[in-house]
Amino acid sequence: MIQNSLEEKFKRAAGVICKQGMVAFPLSDTAIAIVVAVVGNNEEELDLIYAFREKPSQTTDQLVESSGFAAQKVEQLATSLAKKGLVFNQPSSAGVMIYRLLPLMLVGVMEYKFMVELTGSPEEKDLARLFEKLLKELRDQIQENFDALLPLFDKSPAVDRTVPTRSTEEGTPIKIIPVDKALEVPEEFVLPSQTVEDIINKFDDIAVGYCFCRQRRSLLGDPCSTAAPTLNCFTFGKSARHTAAQGFAKKITKEEALKIMKEAEKAGLIHKAFHPGSRESSPETSICNCCKDCCDTFQLWRSGTFPLINSTYHLSVIDEAACTGCGTCVEWCPTDAIVLNEEGLAQRDENACLGCGVCSRFCPEEAISLQEGLRRVFIMPPQLRSA
């Protein structure tokens, strides 16, 4: 009877967690298994998770009412769940502590559990396999409803924003072609920071953790093909205070952050900035430094799970007269937006270009510039037809 009660608590807690965030996961045995692995047999923590079923963000007083626990117990349980990657606990601008239940991924349990320095333990590998299974189940669900989901995808806001690299491999500035016409944006729109330096310099609280994508892929026996550095997952402001407090990341100085960013650029990584609720008018919460083979965004797109939906202010422009057809840009492009045409020269697909500047950085002839202009990049995932 006690075991059945615990099983039911795992199931209902998992059901609440599955509804959080940008991606609603179906309640499945895999999702429940993840909750079991992360929470453990702590019935009171499972009860507190269930208290978020009607409202994902609550104050202490609200959680006291919805959970039935005393205030001290609420704080104790929420603090424990925060360290497990399930609760975001930071005060509001008014100084009131807010507890928000986090999703399984984007950004939640999966990111935080693999953002710390890993040991390669059996438990870590088991959790990585569970998340891989969960994502495959999600892919199958998306594929089964592909045509019906297309209109919803098309209306979705950009998940992230590309901030371009600004210098070549030799350290010379990449040529920027200024925008030649007025931007068709609302009058109140304020263009967000377009360099990683500007983003870093506006925050007092900066924290860095390990890339959860590259670390998780390594646990699955699929290490990064470019051997890219991993200590370059940044959080800022309130998010930095949270990740540092829970041990997911460590606080660093602006100077340390800039040094790590330069190392990321040297490795050919792509700067992707995230804003709360995809609102680019709000300050950045984090920056990922992504490689094309490990990044979850690119992996989920290539596997047929999600479209790529990105905001960018740049577009690569290829000087065919200077291009020698070496194919370096083709190799580095994360979205396969560049191919060699019939003449053997590089040709770029505007609809697939993120404007990340990585092709410009590594072009040995400096034949690629970046043209300014606000764009939304939307690339559907492949529709996988069964034979």
Residue 13, in any domain of the structure: yes
What DSSP string runs through 80-134? HHHHTTSEEEEE-TTS-EEEEE--SSSSSHHHHHTTSPP---HHHHHHHHHHHHH
Residue 11: inside a domain, yes or no? yes
In terms of domains, do 85 and 156 share one?
Answer: no
Measured distance CA(99)–CA(17) in Å, rounded: 14
Handedness of CA 245, 79, 213, 273 (dihedral sign): negative
Rounded Cα gap, residues 60 and 70, in angstroms? 9
Instruction: Please give the tally of structural domains in the chain.
Output: 2
Closest alpha carbon to 357 in 226, 170, 174, 193: 174
Each residue's pLDDT tens digit, 211-242: 999 999 999 999 999 899 999 999 999 999 99
The first and second tokens of residue 56, run together, are: 């994902």
Same-domain pairing of 68 and 168: no
Q: Assess whether 244 and 327 both reside in one domain.
A: yes
- Is residue 181 scored above 80 in pLDDT? no
pLDDT, position 387: 37
φ and ψ at 85, to 5 degrees?
85, 15
Helix (H, G, I), strand (E, B) or coil at 252: strand
The reply to whether 117 falls in a domain is: no
Q: How many residues make up the chain in this entry?
A: 387
Measured N-to-C along each axis, helices 29-39 and 43-50 cross at an angle, to the nearest 10 degrees, of: 120
Expressed as residue numbers, the domain containing 183 is: 146-379
Asked whether residue 107 carries a pLDDT value surpassing 50, the answer given is yes
Q: pLDDT tens-digit profile of 372-382? A: 999 999 999 99
Average pLDDT over residues 378-387: 78
**Cα 283 from Cα 281, distance rounded (Å):** 7
Residue 370 is predicted with a pLDDT of: 97
Please give the Cα distance from 51 to 62 (Å, whole number). Answer: 10
Average pLDDT of span 298-323: 95
- The DSSP call for residue 155 is H
Task: List pLDDT tens digits, range 149-175.
Answer: 888 888 899 999 999 999 999 999 999
**Residues 94 and 161 placed together within one structural domain of the fold:** no
Residue 34: its pLDDT value, please?
98
pLDDT over threshold 80, residue 4:
no
Band of residue 179 on the pLDDT scale cut at 50, 70, 90: confident
- Write the DSSP symbol of residue 277: G
Q: Are residues 88 and 162 in the same domain?
A: no
Residue 315 within a domain: yes
Check whether 190 has a pLDDT greater than 70: no
Judge whether 34 lies within some domain: yes
- Residues 324 and 197 grouped into a single domain: yes
Residue 67 lies in a domain: yes
Per-residue pLDDT, 2 = 44
Q: What is the pLDDT of residues 31-54, one digit of tens each?
A: 999 999 999 999 999 999 999 999
Query: What CATH number corresponds to the domain at position 25?
Result: 1.10.10.10
Q: Are residues 150 and 88 in the same domain?
A: no
Same domain for 281 and 223? yes
Please report, rounded to a whole number, the percentage of residues in the chain having pLDDT higher than 90.
85
**Do residues 337 and 289 make contact, with C-beta atoms less than 8 angstroms apart?**
no
Tokens of 169: 């491999």
Answer with the residue of higher pLDDT: 370 or 277: 370
Shared-domain flag, residues 210 and 276: yes
Looking at every residue in the chain, the average pLDDT score rounds to: 93
Q: Are residues 195 and 331 in the same domain?
A: yes
On whether the CB atoms of residues 219 and 118 are closer than 8 A, the answer is yes
Specify whether 260 is located in the same domain as 363: yes
The Cα–Cα gap between 153 and 308 comes to 10
- The phi, psi pair for 127, rounded to 5°, reads -65, -40
Q: Domain boundary residue among 76, 102, 128? A: 102
Check residue 182 and give its pLDDT: 53
Question: Cα–Cα distances in Å, from 158 out to 74, 179, 347?
Answer: 35, 21, 25
Residue 241 resides in a domain = yes
Select the more confidently predicted residue: 21 or 247. Answer: 247
Average pLDDT of 368-373?
96
Predicted pLDDT of residue 154? 87
Structure confidence at residue 1 as a pLDDT band (50, 70, 90): very low
What is the reported pLDDT for 197? 95
The domain boundary residue, chosen from 85, 102, 119? 102
pLDDT at 262 exceeding the cut of 90: yes
- Are 159 and 291 in the same domain? yes
In this structure, are strands 160-163 and 233-236 parallel, antiparallel, or unpaired? unpaired
Q: Which amino acid is present at 360? A: S
143 near 304, Cβ under 8 Å?
yes
* Residue 186 pLDDT level (bands cut at 50, 70, 90): low
3-state secondary structure of 362: helix
Q: Is residue 94 part of a domain?
A: yes
Confidence of residue 23 (pLDDT cuts 50, 70, 90): confident
**Each residue's pLDDT tens digit, 309-321:** 999 999 999 999 9
